[in-house]
Amino acid sequence: MDNLRNSGSIDMDSVLERVGGDESFLRELFDIYVEDFIEKYPQLEQAISKGDFNNIKEIGHSLKGSSGNLSLTGLHETAYGIELSGKENDIEQAKLYFIRLKEEFKKFKDFLPPEKRQNIELKMPNME
Amino acid sequence: MEKQALKKKDQVIKVLIAEDNAVSAKILQKNINDWGYEVVLAKDGKEAWSSLQNEGIKLAILDWMMPEINGIQLCKKIRQNDHLGKDQEYTYIILLTAKDEQKDLIKGFSAGADDYIRKPFNQLELKARLKTGKRIIDLQKQLQEQASRDSLTEIWNRKRMFRILDKEINRANRDNLPVAIIMIDIDKFKSINDSHGHQVGDLVLKEVTHVLKKSVRNYDEICRYGGDELLIILPNCNVAKTESIAERLRQNMNKHRIDSDTVSLNVTLSFGGASTESYSSDITSEALIMAADKALLEAKNKGRNRVVLKKKIED
């Protein structure tokens, strides 16, 4: 947890307050978040390549919600950018935010314990 | 002590969380559970709607953006259902909204939401807003209770009686079981009022109610039908069973003496009963009451302090 706190990608105090200081519960939430991200990431990639703005908006909104709840500030902002790109039918902006999303997620992932990290790398080989 | 009392099962408020985002749903669930509420989860609007109809939900936290049916549409549906009346209790609705949707809040309120929480939520704010919701729900319940009770005897009033009877007749039809009613008239109530005053009259009504309450089964419902007329709804009662219950009530009343500061008197009751057993399944509350009323009139004409049952339609 301390690793992650120092990563700069999370507002640890605010998320701990939200979960009543329960660190093991927070770890459980990270697992759910990662699973969800692994599922949504290729969907978003596809939506962008097809120019499906409605899906871009919805996936962006969903990722914004979960990263916001976990106070993952960088990911939250980026997901919001994706949602807005979908709303504004702006494919170039969506592509830029998608690159940023990948970077932000990598930053977050690199501070997770090794076994979790390996799991992500296994499921998302194209992240590297 | 207070905490223990709050834990009683019927006092635990059921909260629905309709949220498609797994992380957000999980955090809400943990917090709300920790604060002593019971949580029902739904991952989209459709699932939420089905829970709302079956699970006795008092408080609903609805995410604005959800697949199938969104939070706003769900709000409208819930409020439409509230208008249908029946026994539906009020559902307090809190909308979950992202910061940038705030400008749309008016839309949420006009769809029928009571309150909103911004995501990501602050724990203390959520707790406080839930508490407000609970207060409104409690007040609404009190109000409904007051509007359903007769103020003197505290038994169900006529309006509520019709609702209970309609429901019981429906249930009886569904389960293929009879339901009966007994109409009760206090013998010579007018002369009690005339000779001893209304205060004694009121006391008589209260005492009669008390005796009846003690003598019926705990799932029978006692209602005040009119001035000195009372009505008891008896689920799963055929004619014979109804007759024996009414007879027991009559005897218990005969054994009871009503004492006030000024008088001591014996009061007798006349009973008219009818069971759906004697009729086809499409009998209405009104028709069943009319049948029992006829029987009651017959009991009074025959000299009061007796039980008469309608056995067939032609009776």
Percent composition of chain B: helix, strand, coil (DSSP 3-state, to 5)? 50, 20, 25
pLDDT at B35 over 90: yes
One domain for residues B306 and B165: yes
Q: What is the pLDDT of residue B2?
A: 43
Q: What is the pLDDT of residue B314?
A: 56
Q: Where are the domains of chain A?
A: 2-127
pLDDT at B84 over 70: no
Nearest to A70 among B20, B23, B100 (CB): B23
pLDDT at B58 over 80: yes
pLDDT at B118 over 70: yes
Contact B100 A32 (CB under 8 A): no
pLDDT at B5 over 60: no
Q: Phi/psi of residue B117, each to 5°?
A: -130, 135
pLDDT at A60 over 70: yes
Domain boundary among B148, B169, B187: B148
Domain that holds residue B33: 2-148
CA A8, CA A5: separation in Å to the nearest integer?
Answer: 7
ipTM associated with this complex: 0.85
Contact A33 B23 (CB under 8 A): yes
Residue range A85-108: mean pLDDT, rounded: 95
Fold entry, domain A2-127: Four Helix Bundle (Hemerythrin (Met), subunit A) (1.20.120)
One domain for residues B187 and B67: no
Give the chain B residue nearest A33 (alpha carbons). Answer: B23
pLDDT at B240 over 70: yes
Tens-place pLDDT, residues B207-220: 999 999 999 999 99
Residue B153 lies in a domain: no
One domain for residues B9 and B98: yes
One domain for residues B239 and B108: no
Share of chain B above pLDDT 90, in %: 71
One domain for residues B144 and B162: no
- Å between A36 CA and nearest CA of chain B: 8
Domain boundary among B84, B119, B148: B148
Residue B315 lies in a domain: no
Nearest to B26 among A29, A62, A71 (CB): A29
Contact A17 B27 (CB under 8 A): no
Q: What is the pLDDT of residue B296?
A: 97
One domain for residues B135 and B237: no
Question: A13 and chain B: CB distance < 8 Å anywhere?
Answer: no
- Å between B225 CA and nearest CA of chain A: 54
Residue B306 lies in a domain: yes
One domain for residues B229 and B122: no
Would you give the DSSP letter of residue B68? S
Q: What is the CATH number of the domain that holds B288?
A: 3.30.70.270
- For residue B291, the one-letter residue type is A
Predicted confidence band of residue B187 (pLDDT cuts 50, 70, 90): very high
The position carrying tokens 């009372």 is B230
Give the chain A residue nearest B35 (alpha carbons). Answer: A20
pLDDT at A123 over 90: no
CA B37, CA B57: separation in Å to the nearest integer?
Answer: 11
One domain for residues B198 and B230: yes
Residue range B59-63: mean pLDDT, rounded: 94
pLDDT at A1 over 80: no
Domain boundary among B148, B172, B192: B148
